[in-house]
Structure 1
Amino acid sequence: MKLIIKREKLLKELHQINNIISNKPSLPILNNLLLNIKDYVLQFTATDLEIEIITNIYLNQKYKIESITIPARKFYDICRNLPDNSILKLEFYDNKLIIKSNKSYFSISTLPSINFPNINIWKTKINFFISQATLKYLIETTKFSMAQQDIRYYLNGILFEIKEKTIRSVSTDGHRLSICSVKINELLPHHFMILPRKGVIELLRLLDNSETLIELQIGNNNIRIILNNIIFTSKLIDGNFPNYKQILYKNYKKTLEAPCELLKQAFLRTAILSNKKLLVTKLFFSKNQLKITSNNIEQEIAEEIIDIIYNDVDTEIHLNINYILDILNTIKSKKIQFLFNDAYSSVLIKNPENNNLIYIVMPIRL
């Protein structure tokens, strides 16, 4: 059986699905895509045993071809390097995939589909719809606080807490905490789940800023997201996320308010001469004034003084300058607030006009 298809109809889907193919897979067949053709749908499946992505391509003609697996990167590279608007003719026989296009000819090996792993069938506990833009916002505003290869495996991802008509994303690496809350239209039961770091990154690649609704299906150990012509499935982290609410509802006594963009530019300039290993910056708060200072091992110094709203006692705090810049690059507001108690307690950072984004940073003790 021959399949005739335009190159452009394959490229985007193959690019999206190839992202999860590992450079050093635990099984040879994980280098391959599972290819299914039934009636008017061409379906590709890729997995690394933790994440599975299925993409459906709708055809103009009815086909019936048995499942087979093909080398993912080789097939994508062939399609990518053919001329624009090429027509591909695909033939399957003798454990080979034959690709013909104009005067180009390729023969690549295949593996039986019976050996291709798939994420086990699981029962959905919670099912609801959310816009792509909302889910992307929940991820983008908290992803930078995820831990990387922490022995506390439950920190290597984002916690999603669902309760009634609110979804909250939370991440922490033990030194900082990011929290984002959004309202939705559906009334949902209280539920927690931790999406692992790789799942977060790969899902973010698939999302855009549209208001198109996508379907979320949540089970005990898996989450499945159906968007456009793609089905994304990821295993969840089985662990107990720290009780972040103990820190969140702490009583902060001191408050400063500053223009967000002005503060961001001041931190960007002082970061130039900061110690690239320690990344420490000194913040000295005095009446209606903030002095930001950084230095490095070459004994170079950067100092910025900006006007703020602050009417408490003089206080000096040392913070990781990159942590602050991550927050300032995320909060899109005219004003920003810092709430704290003293030089050794956590600092809460937020938009004074909107509490849907809250960040907490632990000070550095020198």
Structure 2
Amino acid sequence: MNIQINRETLLKPLTSVTSIVEKRHTLPILSNLLLEAKQNKIHLTATDLEMQISLSVDSATSNDFSTTISAKKLLDICRSLPDNSDINMATNDSRITVKAGKSRFNLQTLPAADYPVMTKTQSQGTVITIPQRQLKELLKQVEFAMAQQDIRYYLNGLLVEVVANRLNIVGTDGHRLSFTSTELKENYEKQDVILPRKTVIELIKLLDDSEEDVNVEIANNQVNFSFGNIRLISKVIDGKFPDYNRVIPTGHQNTFTTERLGVLLAMQRASILSNEKYRGIRMVLSNNNLKLISTNSDQEEAEEELEIAYGSDALDIGFNVTYLIDVLNNTNSEQVTFSFADANSSCLITLPNNPDYKYVVMPMRI
């Protein structure tokens, strides 16, 4: 049983599927990927039992077969071969031989029948279509606000919600919340799921900056993504996501709009002397003036001053500067608007050129 394939044809899809393979797993076969040859195509599948990525590439094959092979070893072999090498793979009992030029590798395999393939749910879910570039941008606008290994497991992912003709995506870690939305081509019944953190990160890697469509099928316990030659199946987090509408404030009267890059650089400089653990920064607002002040346990202090168009109440309010830098780094708008109610209320950050984006940060005592 033979496969002939060019190194470049195999390397990119192999890199894509291998990224979800766990390095240490109780099931040895999960360190492998499923390699199937069918009708002059190679199908590569990897899973960690929570998510599965499948890809297909064209290749000359002698006949149909399937096996599983160490994902990391095959990827390392491909990477180490010279550019444009022609790779030949031949199976023999429980081994596979990989040849390229004068290089030869003999690898152990495990039976394909033992591979735990995730199957697509039979229940018909909501299917939406959205350009790849657009979905990638939406995910990048909110993914940084997801929690990491929080005991409130439902925060370790993104809320994906379809309501009528809107797709809403929300991430929060309990201290800040990022919300983005876009209009869909059709109306749908309300449906929402929580996508796990790992799925979100892999999706951002896999999606292209192209106008080609992604089909997203949302079911109760699973979400399926189909785009190009990629199929991604993901389980969802079972839990109740917080009501984000109660968190997003309305009617904050004290607002100013400023250049995103200017305030980002000022915050990065001020953060150098902030407390390493709490990362606190004070925003002191007065007439047409913003001061950013940070101090640390060594009694060191940094102060940045910016001229802004502001004529509302004087305010002195503290925030975790990392949460502010995150949002300024992950938006590409030239200007940002900050809105406040008082020194004890959250800050709302919006973009003048994108009414569908909102970012909320809770204040902290400094």
When normalised by structure 2's length, the TM-score is 0.96
CA deviation after TM superposition for structure 1 residue 321, in Å: 0.7
Deviates more, 1:331-340 or 1:193-202: 331-340
CA deviation after TM superposition for structure 1 residue 198, in Å: 0.6
CA deviation after TM superposition for structure 1 residue 353, in Å: 4.1
Q: Distance in 2 between matches of 1:312 and 1:25?
A: 57
Secondary structure of 2:139's aligned partner: helix
Secondary structure of 1:255's aligned partner: strand
* Equivalent residue, structure 2, for 1:90: 89
Deviates more, 1:159-168 or 1:257-266: 257-266
Q: Distance in 2 between matches of 1:271 and 1:365?
A: 16
* Equivalent residue, structure 2, for 1:184: 184
For 1:69, the aligned partner's letter is T
* Equivalent residue, structure 1, for 2:197: 197
* Structure 1: gaps spanning 5 or more residues: none
* Counterpart contact for 2:2–2:63, Cα < 8 Å: no
CA deviation after TM superposition for structure 1 residue 66, in Å: 2.2
* Equivalent residue, structure 1, for 2:131: 131
The equivalences for 1:318-333 within 5 A come to 318-333=318-333
Q: Distance in 2 between matches of 1:334 and 1:77?
A: 42
- The structure-2 alpha-carbon separation of the partners of 1:364 and 1:25, relative to structure 1 and needing over 3 Å to count, comes to same
* Counterpart contact for 2:18–2:71, Cα < 8 Å: yes
For 1:211, the aligned partner's letter is E
For 1:114, the aligned partner's letter is A
For 2:315, the aligned partner's letter is T
For 1:65, the aligned partner's letter is D
* Counterpart contact for 2:120–2:233, Cα < 8 Å: no
For 2:225, the aligned partner's letter is I
Secondary structure of 1:143's aligned partner: helix
* Counterpart contact for 1:38–1:63, Cα < 8 Å: no
* Counterpart contact for 2:2–2:61, Cα < 8 Å: no
CA deviation after TM superposition for structure 1 residue 249, in Å: 4.4
CA deviation after TM superposition for structure 1 residue 48, in Å: 0.4
* Equivalent residue, structure 2, for 1:316: 316
* Equivalent residue, structure 1, for 2:258: 258
Q: Distance in 2 between matches of 1:7 and 1:62?
A: 15
Q: Distance in 1 between matches of 2:64 and 2:132?
A: 33
CA deviation after TM superposition for structure 1 residue 354, in Å: 2.7
Secondary structure of 2:186's aligned partner: strand
Deviates more, 1:208-217 or 1:174-183: 208-217
For 2:264, the aligned partner's letter is K
* Structure 2: gaps spanning 5 or more residues: none
For 2:77, the aligned partner's letter is I
* Equivalent residue, structure 1, for 2:3: 3
* Equivalent residue, structure 2, for 1:343: 343
Q: Distance in 1 between matches of 2:354 and 2:52?
A: 36
* Counterpart contact for 1:252–1:340, Cα < 8 Å: yes
Q: Distance in 1 between matches of 2:356 and 2:171?
A: 14
Q: For residues 182-209 of structure 1, what are the alpha-carbon distances to aligned partners after superposition, in whole Å with 9 as ceiling and x for unaligned?
A: 1222322211111000111111110121
Match status 1:112 vs 2:111: yes
* Equivalent residue, structure 2, for 1:296: 296
For 1:295, the aligned partner's letter is T
Secondary structure of 1:142's aligned partner: helix
Q: Distance in 2 between matches of 1:62 and 1:96?
A: 17
Q: For residues 246-300 of structure 1, what are the alpha-carbon distances to aligned partners after superposition, in whole Å with 9 as ceiling and x for unaligned?
A: 1224332322222222212211211122222111001111111111111222222
- The structure-2 alpha-carbon separation of the partners of 1:63 and 1:39, relative to structure 1 and needing over 3 Å to count, comes to farther
Q: Distance in 1 between matches of 2:129 and 2:31?
A: 32
Q: For residues 54-111 of structure 1, what are the alpha-carbon distances to aligned partners after superposition, in whole Å with 9 as ceiling and x for unaligned?
A: 010112x454232211111111111211111211121111211011222111111111
* Equivalent residue, structure 1, for 2:150: 150
Moved over 4 A (4+): none
For 1:88, the aligned partner's letter is I
Match status 1:67 vs 2:58: no
* Counterpart contact for 1:320–1:363, Cα < 8 Å: yes
* Counterpart contact for 1:39–1:63, Cα < 8 Å: no
Secondary structure of 2:312's aligned partner: coil
* Counterpart contact for 2:52–2:234, Cα < 8 Å: yes
Q: For residues 94-148 of structure 1, what are the alpha-carbon distances to aligned partners after superposition, in whole Å with 9 as ceiling and x for unaligned?
A: 2110112221111111111111002133123111211111110111000111001
For 1:180, the aligned partner's letter is T
Secondary structure of 1:240's aligned partner: coil
- The structure-2 alpha-carbon separation of the partners of 1:249 and 1:285, relative to structure 1 and needing over 3 Å to count, comes to closer
* Equivalent residue, structure 2, for 1:222: 222
Secondary structure of 2:39's aligned partner: strand
Match status 1:166 vs 2:190: no
* Equivalent residue, structure 1, for 2:363: 363
* Equivalent residue, structure 1, for 2:276: 276
Q: Distance in 1 between matches of 2:260 and 2:80?
A: 46
CA deviation after TM superposition for structure 1 residue 312, in Å: 2.1
Q: Distance in 2 between matches of 1:117 and 1:333?
A: 44
Secondary structure of 2:40's aligned partner: strand
* Equivalent residue, structure 1, for 2:49: 49
Aligned residue pairs: how many?
A: 365
For 2:103, the aligned partner's letter is S
When normalised by structure 1's length, the TM-score is 0.96
Q: Distance in 2 between matches of 1:200 and 1:328?
A: 20
Q: CA-atom RMSD, angstroms?
A: 1.4
Q: Distance in 2 between matches of 1:120 and 1:87?
A: 33
Q: Distance in 1 between matches of 2:335 and 2:5?
A: 53
